[in-house]
Amino acid sequence: MKRLFGTDGIRGMVNEYPMTPELIQKLGKAIALFCIQENDNKDNHPLHVVIGRDTRISGQMLESALISGLCSMGIHVYLAGIIPTPAIALLTRHQKACLGIVISASHNPYHDNGIKLFQSNGYKLSEDKEAVIEQFVFDNSEQKTKNDPGLVFTLDNAEQIYLEFLIQAFYCQRKNFHVIMDCSNGAMFRVAPKLYQHLGFHSETLHVTPNGKNINLFCGSEYPEELAKKVVETHADVGFAFDGDGDRMIAIDEKGNIITGDQILSVCSWFAKKNGKLNNNTVVSTVMSNAGLTAFLTDLEINHVKSQIGDRHVLETMLSYGATIGGEDSGHMIFLDTHTTGDGLLSSLRLLDVLSESSEPLSSFTKKMSVFPQVLMNVEVTQKIELSSIPEINQLIEDIKAKLGSKGRILLRYSGTQPLCRVMVEGPTQEETHQYCKRIADTIKNAIGVA
């Protein structure tokens, strides 16, 4: 049996393994067993979890399956409805729940869905604890149910709790920003407009009419081109594009340039150091980060630590180095002085904090970091075998590395949530970098790719 948990929870196509109602019900029971095992519950109060979801058409079906499994084991369930992933991290702490559960496949298309888990402290569940739950799912012994099942409650104030948290985290006094946001027809479609309206900004929204199937459909953080065009047309100060579950954000400057996660990280790190708020003078990103970020932070004499791919690894590294700023080029930013997980709205507020202290536009800050030519290609694969064991791939990589020398690098990795091999190449020119990346991607496709 294949593993359930990948780099960011469980994810897959709905009604295919592992995202079937039957397995998700078993997962609900396994989560309940985990909660019971982790909590001695000496006061005999019923244990409870919080569940939130994005706008996918399959969300309610999977939510019902989870509820069935959890309640059969005597666990109470508090439903937050459609709400961003970072809100569930917050609500798990706020409600003193034993776990927070998010039903979402993040930036994936609507036909996929997934499960993410948060501990009682608001941090994502560790791999070791995910392994315990996974073992419970695959344990063939009968999972004894309770005579008194758990109850289901609705958290009517879930969105308001999250909004108040964000409002309190915003330091900016400037009110004349013109902001355009792309909510990806996802979990941000209600809360993001409400936040910016409350803050008094001149704000406009794109893609806030979810129908269950249009989440991430040529919009949001994966497709920010429409937002970029709108920012230029309306002479807005900045644009923010969120992904389907709201934990990522990609920005657009006033000229319509797409600002990546690495660039956002550079701006926020510079600003924090300038104001004496860069904890331990350290910033964490991943091995996928652009080399330009390393050069920028080195010039500022900031300690740059690189983690494995995935926001959980970024978080673990941040905690071990005492850093409060970290993130990924995908736009997943973590500000540990405020929140326990990536939050697209919080990231947007941090950028506005920078702009509020200056009359300069966003483009003047992002140009401080030189972006090295970088090309990323995804190859759909039939199997995930060790790439270095395939002679033609191994030889090509060695040949290209020799040509690049110190002027570039190559990084290959399999996606933890999709049947993809990701190929990243950095090089001296865009043309040369694209050529090398395509040669590698084509070779992988010929060896193990989908026909």
Q: Which two tokens stand for residue 273?
A: 């150091």
3-state secondary structure (DSSP) of residue 352: helix
Residue 54 near residue 216 (C-beta atoms within 8 A): no
Sheet holding 249-252, edge to edge: 202-206, 178-182, 238-242, 249-252, 258-259
The one catalytic residue in 58, 104, 106, 269 is 106
Element (H, E) at 81: strand 76-82
CA-nearest of 276, 274, 272 to 284 is 272
Strand partners, 306: 285
What phi, psi does 372 have (nearest 5°)?
Answer: -75, 145
Distance (Å, rounded) from C-alpha 427 to C-alpha 292?
11
Distances in whole angstroms, Cα of residue 315 to Cα of each of 110, 249, 333: 27, 17, 10
Q: Which two tokens stand for residue 366?
A: 């992002």
Helix ranges, 322-448 (H): 344-356, 362-366, 391-404, 430-448
Distance (Å, rounded) from C-alpha 249 to C-alpha 336?
17
Residue 40 near residue 51 (C-beta atoms within 8 A): no
| Catalytic annotation present for 106 | yes
Q: For residue 411, count other CB atoms closer than 10 A to its CB.
A: 15
Peptide bond into 18 cis (omega under 30): yes
Distances in whole angstroms, Cα of residue 389 to Cα of each of 203, 385, 443: 52, 8, 13
Residues classed as catalytic: 106
